Structure 1
Amino acid sequence: MPRSEAHGPGRIDNLSPDQRRAAMQAVRSQNTRPELLVRQTAHRMGLRFRLGRCDLPGSPDLVFPRYRLAVFVHGCFWHTHTGCSRATTPRTRLDYWLPKFARTVERDARAEEALKRMGWKVLVLWECSLRDVPELERQLARATHGRD
């Protein structure tokens, strides 16, 4: 089985296509570590939120109805965080990955615009920025109360 450099320069994918498929299918879309960190931080700050608001465009990860705030917790890889080292593009199957990433970015932009037209504030939190919990608290405070 040939090895491919599918995960960035110098990184070799040692999995077979079936193993890779299984690994990718195991990637969660809800209750991820970054999302749980945001939820724990918001709760600790006394902010109450709702999950799973499928009736809103883009199905935000957290919704703060009192503040009309929709929060999306984006993974840097999946949502192609510009300028982030985690937002790598696989070297193989570019005909699959590039359109997939483009569709995701377009879908995110449409959802954000639709929410704003409905009178909602939108906060996008990137996975790589969540290591700085005090900054996360400042962003949530600004978005909900307009202060630090």
Structure 2
Amino acid sequence: MGKAEKYARGTRSYTMSRIRGKDTSIEVLVRSYLFSRGLRFRKNDKRYPGHPDLVLPKWRTMVFVDGCFWHMHEGCRKFRIPKSNVEFWTTKLLRNRDRDSQQRQDLQAAGWRVIRVWECELAKDRREETLEKLYRHIVAPLE
């Protein structure tokens, strides 16, 4: 006998539609930390490809805080293709990954330093280390 469905029919689609694209809990966590360290930034700036979560013009740096599922974090336990509607999800997630890569290349070509922070790196046991490393990376002199 197969595994019982976690959601009633139609509920999964509604649940997925409620996931926000900005001001997520992990994004707010990163912003709060960097602000408390004295860094000032613009958030979700639509003038740049990919609408970076944080733009730090003084440091010529952009930070993307990405969810492991939505951005296909390879090798992460939080990412796996759903078992239902596999073709749809594979196409969608590959398109996200390819778009992310192109946007990162465009920003780097324009002279921006691009930093990506993964959702799994902000788990409680790794959070402080990740945030401190992010801060040091931002304030490091540009090469």
The reply to whether TM is greater than 0.5 is: yes
Q: 2:54 aligns with which of 62, 79, 82?
A: 62
| 1:58-81 Cα distance to aligned partner (Å, 9 max, x none) | 110011011110100000011110
Alignment of 1:17 with 2:12, yes or no, is: no
Alignment of 1:108 with 2:108, yes or no, is: no
Runs ≥4 in structure 1, deviation > 2 angstroms?
Answer: 143-146
Q: Distance in 2 between matches of 1:120 and 1:33?
A: 25
Q: Distance in 1 between matches of 2:5 and 2:27?
A: 27
Partner amino acid, structure 1, of 2:75 = G
Matches within 5 A, 1:1-148: 12-131=4-123, 132-146=127-141
Task: State the identity %.
Answer: 35
Q: Which moved more, 1:20-29 or 1:128-137?
A: 128-137
| 1:64-118 Cα distance to aligned partner (Å, 9 max, x none) | 0111101000000111101100011111111101111110000000110000011
**Structure 2, unpaired ranges of 5+:** none
Q: TM-score, normalised by structure 1?
A: 0.87
Q: Distance in 2 between matches of 1:17 and 1:119?
A: 48
Q: Distance in 1 between matches of 2:139 and 2:122?
A: 18
Q: TM-score, normalised by structure 2?
A: 0.89
Q: Which moved more, 1:87-96 or 1:12-21?
A: 12-21
Counterpart for residue 9 of structure 1:
none
Post-superposition offset of 1:137: 1.6
Q: How many residue pairs are counted as aligned between the two chains?
A: 137
- Please tell me the root mean square deviation across aligned C-alpha atoms, in Å: 1.5
